[in-house]
Chains A and B, each alone.
Chain A
Amino acid sequence: MAVPAVAARPEAAKQTKRRRNSKKLAGWGYATPTAVFVLLFFVVPIIIVARMSVSDWGLFAGNRGWNAPANYEAVLDDRLLWPAVWFTLKYTVVTTVILLGLALGLALLVQESTRWTGFLRTSFLIPSALGLASASLLFYALYSPQSSPLGFFGPVSFLGTPGKALWSTVALIVWRFAGFYMLLLLVGLQSISADVYEAARLDGANRWQTFRYVTLPLLRSSLALCTILCVTGSLLAFDQFYILTKGGPDNSTITIVQLVYNMAFQGQNNLGRAAALSILVLVALLVLNALQFRGLRDKES
């Protein structure tokens, strides 16, 4: 019995090896479309943008050779840069605080599933089906003195001053995204088991205490995910300001991405400079996300 087994072993080993190799090959085969897309439309462009940021590269003129670090210097000297950075940060903080606070409230409100909360959930979620551009166009009409149905508040200008333009845009974003973040938090809420709440009830915790000491800590990873998404999305805001305010009044609502767009395609037509600024944005975003992830991990351990 043992003899044929020993004799057969190299044969069997060869066969499993062959099978493993063919599985490897098949794996690569199925991954190839992904690899091609990622390489051609992501990795190669990253290399190009790095190259552009250190070149004199016009929109129409194309590449006119190295000029490092002129683009970076020009970006840092741009008189719109620091106001844009400051405005983008302010907008991000305001949006994130209001949006996540409201989303959490909505998620708690529709937590049980009854027919009524089902209707509420759908109502809150419907704006999320709209594109950001469509929602911005809708609010553009909603805010215009000419067509606004909100005229009974008196002749209000929604976009006339820098402050009003900011808050009106935040209202649009909250309307558009509250349901989406509610859904993400709802998924988190529903993964908390009923036993935990039962235990809190037996311990005599009231509603606030249950929320503060049970729900909130167990919801932390969902909240963290929402925060990262919301902060990143707000830092890169473009559509809403491009459509609603065009950066006005008096350049007060220009965001960083809008500045990148303007440098590349409006007025300056300088792709090299736009590439330099977008590299700086990329680096800032990577650092910020690394910090957020680290903060998260520290808290969890």
Chain B
Amino acid sequence: MRFVRMPQYVLTGALALLFLFPLVWASYASVSPQPGTAQTSGWGFGNYETLADYQAGIGQYLLNSTLVSAMTVLFTLGVATFGGYAFAMFRFPGRNALFLVTLAILMVPYATLLIPLYVLLNELGLQNSLFGLALVLTMFQLPFAVFMMRISFEAIPRDLKESAEVDGCGSFRALTHILIPAVKPGLITVGLFAFLAAWNDFITPLVLISDSEKLPLPLAVANMRQQVMGIVDYGATEAGVVVLALPCIVLFLALQRHYVRGFMSGALKG
């Protein structure tokens, strides 16, 4: 079976390079000399300086994105941990209905919800606010997050659950002391996906945030392209892509082992 392995390595290697090429190119192009950018001769960080000076400054946009992502991860983990615990371990009236309605969020297009949410957040005094944006992003995460936490709690070995009950501690102590450590892979998966979604979301802040000081990074980089007289500074765009992508790729690679495990444990349960 395993003769003539060489061509296979070459072909699959070329395929891998094809997938890596755009990212490698963007990092390279962001620091290499290019006419029409801030970096016309020699290598350097001219494009990143353009980015740093764009309107409110990249620092502000990074801060906005970081705040929104942190709040979304926090809210999602909190709501989904309690929700998953309730759906997995308790029987209460309305349990199935609530779970189904939560999953139904997946069936409704973002655009359908964003139009009324734009009006609703105005009514609640949360228009143009990063807090309001994080609340909406949390809601979009709930179907995946609650589902994931439910199957994580259901997958806990029975004797661990029983030992928590025999110890006579209340359900809240059992959750915080015994059960949460057991669902760590699920929590990491949910947290990572909430971060990636919040950091990268485009259409939600496009609709809900109109104040240019409060834009998250993807919108700021996208807006930067329509700067002066329609001339696009591609160098600054490339630098923006690198800043946007770097934290995601680092987290993705660092946590790969964990979320693949989270996925697999869910898949095995069917």
A229 to B: closest C-beta gap in Å: 10
In the assembled complex, the Cα of A236 lies from the Cα of B19 at a distance in Å of 25
Stretch at the interface among B49-57, B154-162, B242-250: B242-250
- Judged by a CB distance under 8 angstroms, whether B173 is at the interface is no
- Judged by a CB distance under 8 angstroms, whether A144 is at the interface is yes
Instruction: Take A137-B241, A281-B109 as given contacts and tell me if A131 and B196 are in contact as well, using a CB distance cutoff of 8 Å.
Output: yes
Instruction: Take A146-B36, A239-B202 as given contacts and tell me if A124 and B19 are in contact as well, using a CB distance cutoff of 8 Å.
Output: yes
Closest to A20 in B: B91
- Judged by a CB distance under 8 angstroms, whether A289 is at the interface is yes
Contact with A along B96-133 (1 / 0, CB 8 A): 00100110110111111101111110000000000000
Q: In the complex, which of the residues A28, A126, A140 contacts B237, with contact meaning CB atoms closer than 8 Å?
A: A140
Contact B83 A44 (CB under 8 A): no
- Judged by a CB distance under 8 angstroms, whether A301 is at the interface is no
In the assembled complex, the Cα of A42 lies from the Cα of B105 at a distance in Å of 7
Contact B116 A52 (CB under 8 A): yes
- Judged by a CB distance under 8 angstroms, whether A93 is at the interface is no
Contact A109 B218 (CB under 8 A): no
Q: In the complex, which of the residues A24, A29, A34, A285 contacts B142, with contact meaning CB atoms closer than 8 Å?
A: A34
Closest to A24 in B: B92
Which DSSP category, helix, strand, loop or mixed, fits chain A's interface?
helix
- Judged by a CB distance under 8 angstroms, whether B23 is at the interface is yes
Contact B116 A275 (CB under 8 A): yes
In the assembled complex, the Cα of A123 lies from the Cα of B252 at a distance in Å of 12
Q: In the complex, which of the residues A25, A52, A131, A285 contacts B109, with contact meaning CB atoms closer than 8 Å?
A: A285
Q: Which residues of B contact A45 (CB under 8 A)?
A: 113, 116-117, 120
Q: Which residues of B contact A149 (CB under 8 A)?
A: 25, 29
Q: In the complex, which of the residues A33, A42, A49, A261 contacts B101, with contact meaning CB atoms closer than 8 Å?
A: A42
In the assembled complex, the Cα of A140 lies from the Cα of B235 at a distance in Å of 12
Of the four ranges (under 10, 10 to 19, 20 to 34, 35 or more), the interface on chain A belongs to 35 or more
Q: Which residues of A contact B113 (CB under 8 A)?
A: 41-42, 45-46, 49
- With a 10 A CB-CB cut-off, give which of B20, B34, B119, B251 has the most chain A CB atoms: B119
Q: Which residues of B contact A206 (CB under 8 A)?
A: none
Contact B90 A30 (CB under 8 A): yes
In the assembled complex, the Cα of A144 lies from the Cα of B36 at a distance in Å of 13
Q: Which residues of B contact A109 (CB under 8 A)?
A: 12, 15
Stretch at the interface among A10-18, A114-122, A210-218: A114-122
B197 to A: closest C-beta gap in Å: 8
Contact A274 B115 (CB under 8 A): yes
Contact B79 A37 (CB under 8 A): yes
- Judged by a CB distance under 8 angstroms, whether A26 is at the interface is yes
Q: Which residues of B contact A289 (CB under 8 A)?
A: 107
Q: Which residues of B contact A261 (CB under 8 A)?
A: 111, 203, 206-207
Contact with A along B214-247 (1 / 0, CB 8 A): 0000110110010000001011011011001100
Q: Which residues of A contact B199 (CB under 8 A)?
A: 131
- Judged by a CB distance under 8 angstroms, whether A238 is at the interface is yes
In the assembled complex, the Cα of A260 lies from the Cα of B15 at a distance in Å of 38
- Judged by a CB distance under 8 angstroms, whether A94 is at the interface is no
Contact A129 B12 (CB under 8 A): no
Q: Which residues of A contact B241 (CB under 8 A)?
A: 134, 137-138, 141
A269 to B: closest C-beta gap in Å: 12
Q: Which residues of B contact A257 (CB under 8 A)?
A: 109-111, 203
In the assembled complex, the Cα of A41 lies from the Cα of B117 at a distance in Å of 7
Instruction: Take A144-B234, A175-B19, A260-B115 as given contacts and tell me if A131 and B107 are in contact as well, using a CB distance cutoff of 8 Å.
Output: no
Instruction: Take A34-B79, A122-B253, A129-B245 as given contacts and tell me if A175 and B200 are in contact as well, using a CB distance cutoff of 8 Å.
Output: no
Contact B82 A126 (CB under 8 A): no
- Judged by a CB distance under 8 angstroms, whether A147 is at the interface is yes
Instruction: Take A183-B263, A264-B115 as given contacts and tell me if A48 and B120 are in contact as well, using a CB distance cutoff of 8 Å.
Output: yes
Contact A137 B203 (CB under 8 A): no
Instruction: Take A34-B142, A123-B19, A146-B36 as given contacts and tell me if A41 and B135 are in contact as well, using a CB distance cutoff of 8 Å.
Output: yes
Query: Apart from A23-B90, A28-B94, A134-B200, what 9 extra A-B contacts exist at CB < 8 Å?
Result: A30-B86, A34-B79, A34-B83, A38-B102, A42-B113, A43-B101, A133-B201, A141-B237, A146-B234
Closest 8 CB pairs of A and B: A131-B200, A27-B90, A27-B92, A34-B83, A30-B86, A129-B252, A48-B116, A123-B16
Instruction: List 20 interface pairs A-B (beta carbons < 8 Å), by A numbering.
Output: A24-B90, A31-B82, A31-B90, A31-B92, A32-B82, A48-B116, A49-B113, A120-B12, A122-B253, A127-B19, A128-B252, A129-B245, A137-B225, A140-B237, A149-B25, A242-B203, A260-B115, A271-B119, A285-B107, A285-B109
